[in-house]
Amino acid sequence: MDSGLDELISVATLGGVLVTASELLSVVSVHTNRHGQPHFIVLNDIPEPWHTQFKLALRGSACPQVMGFAECAFAVDWTDWVNGEWRDRAAKPIGLDDVK
């Protein structure tokens, strides 16, 4: 492994404890659309190192532009990525206890 990947793995904890996908999902607020369905998340709400990992994984993806919010991503992309099930992409989060 390269040193950058080793560093990501070593800091991939919340409060020094390895977290699960469901724990990571629970710390990021999902904003809903007017019908109450999950719509988007704000990238700055994602804790490191997953913020950087997900932002890199989003390259080339469509992202919602939401007035009053900084960079956003679709909630389904976030959830699928955290669970290691994001489309046909190989990008998966590093440092979670239970990602496939």
For 2-21, how does the pLDDT look when each residue is reduced to its tens digit (9 = 90+)?
Answer: 444 444 444 454 556 667 88
Model confidence band, residue 96 (pLDDT cutoffs 50, 70, 90): confident
pTM reported for the whole predicted model: 0.78
Model confidence band, residue 98 (pLDDT cutoffs 50, 70, 90): low
Give 38's strand partners.
32
- CB crowding 49-66: b at 16 or more within 10 Å, else e: bbeebbeebbeeeeebee
pLDDT tens digits, 25-80 = 999 999 999 999 999 999 999 998 899 999 998 988 899 999 999 999 999 999 99
Length of the chain: 100
